[in-house]
Amino acid sequence: MAKMMTKSATLGYLGQKTSLSKKQIGDVLDELLALACKEAKNGFVVPGFGKLVLANRKARIGRNPQTGEPLKIPAKRVCKFRITKSLKDAVLGKK
């Protein structure tokens, strides 16, 4: 299995494909991340890539894998990322 690209490898690749420097691309990605964190509660969309949304999970009964003993998992809010259909089809192929 191939290794995932690191942040510096991603910046290098994007630097080669565009006329921007690695530092400029890093600044853009950092600002995008800061904006996503700030706007996550309202939903944040990266067109053509996906959507960051908050979801509420209900309380449920889980099981301790070592002892098999049931335990209560409390309700909580979680972040979810939903990729666009076009990206999913590009990565996985159409059915």
Residue 9 placed within a domain? yes
- Supply the range of the domain harboring residue 15: 1-39
Residue 12 placed within a domain? yes
Q: Is residue 1 pLDDT above 70, yes or no? A: no
Residue 71 placed within a domain? no
Residue 24 placed within a domain? yes
The DSSP 8-state label assigned to residue 66 in this structure reads: T
How far apart CA 29 and CA 17 sit, in angstroms, is 15
Residue 29 placed within a domain? yes
pLDDT by residue (tens digit) across 74-86? Answer: 999 999 999 999 9
Residue 77 placed within a domain? no
Residue 68 placed within a domain? no
Q: What is the pTM of this model?
A: 0.75
Count of domains observed in the chain: 1
